[in-house]
Amino acid sequence: MHNQGLGSWIHRRRIKSADQTALISGDDRLSYGEFAERVDRLANAFDARGIRSGDRVAYLGENHPAFLETLFACGVLGAIFVPLNTRLAAPEIAFALTDSGSRILVHAASLTDLAVRGSAGTQVVQRMRVADAAVPTADTGPTGLLVEDLDAVILGAPATHRDENVSLDDPALILYTSGTTGQPKGALLTHGNMTWNSFNVLVDYDFVSSDVALMIAPMFHVASLGMGVLPTLLKGGSVVLEPRFEPGRTLHLIEQHHATVISGVPTTYQLLCEHPDWDSTDISSLHKLTCGGSAVPVRVLEAYEKRGLAFSGGYGLTETAPGATSLAPHKSREKAGSAGLPHFFTDVRIVDETGTEVPDGEVGEIQISGPNVIREYWNRAEATADSYAGNVWFRSGDMGYTDEHGYLFISDRLKDMIISGGENIYPAEIELAISELEAVASVAVIGVPDEKWGEVPCAVVTVRDGFNLEADDIQAHLGDRLARYKIPKRVVIVAEMPRTASGKIRKADLRQEHAS
């Protein structure tokens, strides 16, 4: 085959396992043979509408087979797939569409209003609607824009398979990072980035062809796509697509489909083990639980250990497709709080402000190198240049250290580090200590202005249902655990944390709200 990229994967799977189940969505199932035919038809439809190698096609919607059909159809042609976060506002959608120069927008029918407003004034010349479970909004977009239903487009196109020249060095996706300052940057991920990341996952997480991966995190984030969906499809397993996370339904789906793989952030797993159906649900099929974003609280580890389960932790970025390190389940206790060792085909180092590698135990910037790391940002030459050391090492902007065995521990984002009276304070250390309290549901530590010290730590905490917790309880708990300058000068109890679509706490929002 001439196509060496993602666009050949489903066709190659059709040759090997045409009758095996590839995708499950609600009551619908697609075999690899059926999946490959729909991908081929959509690729031919895109070609008939003028999409060529290097052109951009955007997708706006929750987890749905159409997301993957669009991704792989773009890969067949050598076009670039641009997944959009469904939580973005219309101006943010417009920015991504304009910046990427996307010509076609595939979107959920239920998000028609957002798609109409977001695509107005951009280079988008056509929208394709995906029928989803929600009630669609009225389509009142510009009359000059071609609007079609995706299923009709697919069924009306020829099923012939195309074999275009696509290399591993060719761009596959543009994923917009949620930058805290300025406009988001488009991370340009190649077919090679996504392929080598999948190899890392297969080696370090032992994916097999019998795996059933339940995807409860949105695929428009690279963690869900890169660490769950693509490795499963590469091995010929089955992917269960769930449009959004709901703990009770997730437990039901694990039991119904005998899921072997789930992925999430610590909050995901906490909500599952605290659900009333936790003890009565058969989760014996599970044997791969991957978790990123932050360390798993000890009480959550214990809840899963009682069911015979352990976590594979890890650390990564959009720019690393996304895996950089992984922590094996059998090390989850011994190396609690660690993000693990570098992935098999990836290298990680810790450097000081001069770019010199530091000894074990010393905090510095985490830098990453490997075939899974992006080469550039889309149309951002200056940002690209600023993000690399010696054109080899990607500068993560995260702070961390390694222990004597090479295990990585994340201290914090460089931008999240608090400097109080000349002392560097890493919020992750304080958050881990506060999360030891059984009553704590979630915690975020931010820096707030202080006349004497410049800035001081402030802890924002949510409390578990049925528990009582006061600010004094938290400060008393930390008294024997942390240096005095690290103990938050303020503790704020809130009902709910602002979160991203992947479940991460939005610290920028907390700073804005609690800075005064």
**Final residue before a domain boundary, out of 284, 311, 338:** 311
- The pTM for the full model equals 0.85
How confident is the model over 58-95, as pLDDT tens digits? Answer: 999 999 999 999 999 999 999 999 999 998 888 889 99
Q: What is the pLDDT of residue 181?
A: 43
Q: What is the pLDDT of residue 180?
A: 41
Query: For 233-237, what is the mean pLDDT?
Result: 98
Is there a single domain that holds both residue 22 and residue 133? Answer: yes
347 lies in some domain: no
* Residue of 276, 266, 223 whose CA lies nearest to 442: 266
Is there a single domain that holds both residue 127 and residue 216? Answer: no
CATH number at residue 472: 3.30.300.30
Residues contacting residue 173 through CB under 8 Å, at least 6 positions apart: 71, 80, 81, 82, 83, 188, 189, 194
354 lies in some domain: no
Q: Is 384 exposed, middle or buried (0-12, 13-18, 19+ CB in 10 A)?
A: middle
**Final residue before a domain boundary, out of 279, 311, 343:** 311
118 lies in some domain: yes
Checking if the pLDDT of 29 tops 70, the result is yes
Is there a single domain that holds both residue 163 and residue 211? Answer: no
Query: 3-class DSSP state for residue 15?
Result: helix
Is there a single domain that holds both residue 162 and residue 213? Answer: no
182 lies in some domain: no
Instruction: Please tell me the total count of domains within the chain.
Output: 3
How confident is the model over 357-409, as pLDDT tens digits? Answer: 999 999 999 999 999 999 999 999 999 999 999 889 999 989 999 999 999 99
How confident is the model over 151-183, as pLDDT tens digits? Answer: 999 999 999 999 999 999 999 999 998 654 457
Is there a single domain that holds both residue 154 and residue 279? Answer: no
Is there a single domain that holds both residue 160 and residue 16? Answer: yes
Q: What is the pLDDT of residue 508?
A: 84
215 lies in some domain: yes
Q: What is the pLDDT of residue 424?
A: 72
Checking if the pLDDT of 132 tops 90, the result is no
CATH number at residue 221: 3.40.50.980
The rounded distance, in Å, linking the Cα atoms of 27 and 34 is 15
In terms of residue numbers, what domain contains 255? 206-311
Checking if the pLDDT of 42 tops 70, the result is yes
Q: Using the CB atoms, write b or e for 64-84: b if 16+ within 10 Å.
A: bbbbbbbbbbbbbbbbbbbbb
Q: Using the CB atoms, write b or e for 338-348: b if 16+ within 10 Å.
A: bbbbbbeebeb
How confident is the model over 256-298, as pLDDT tens digits? Answer: 999 999 998 888 898 999 999 999 999 999 999 998 866 777 8
Tracing tokens 């201290």 back to the chain, one arrives at 411
Query: For 1-16, what is the mean pLDDT?
Result: 97
100 lies in some domain: yes
Checking if the pLDDT of 133 tops 80, the result is no
**Final residue before a domain boundary, out of 139, 167, 195:** 167
352 lies in some domain: no
Is there a single domain that holds both residue 151 and residue 230? Answer: no
370 lies in some domain: no
Q: What is the pLDDT of residue 502?
A: 65
In whole numbers, what is the pLDDT of the chain averaged over residues?
92
Lowest-pLDDT range of 139-148, 245-254, 315-324, 487-496: 139-148
Checking if the pLDDT of 329 tops 60, the result is yes
Checking if the pLDDT of 414 tops 70, the result is no
Contact 448, 515 (CB under 8 A): yes
Lowest-pLDDT range of 109-113, 283-287, 416-420: 416-420
Token readout for 191 is 């077919």
Is there a single domain that holds both residue 38 and residue 141? Answer: yes
pLDDT band at 480 (very low <50, low <70, confident <90, very high): confident
Query: For 484-490, what is the mean pLDDT?
Result: 90
Checking if the pLDDT of 137 tops 60, the result is no
Is there a single domain that holds both residue 44 and residue 155? Answer: yes
Percent of the chain with pLDDT over 70: 96
Is there a single domain that holds both residue 11 and residue 153? Answer: yes
The rounded distance, in Å, linking the Cα atoms of 302 and 310 is 9
Contact 100, 33 (CB under 8 A): no
Is there a single domain that holds both residue 34 and residue 162? Answer: yes
Is there a single domain that holds both residue 92 and residue 215? Answer: no
Token readout for 263 is 């992925």
pLDDT band at 203 (very low <50, low <70, confident <90, very high): very high
Lowest-pLDDT range of 105-109, 148-152, 331-335, 425-429: 425-429
Q: Which amino acid is at 176?
A: Y
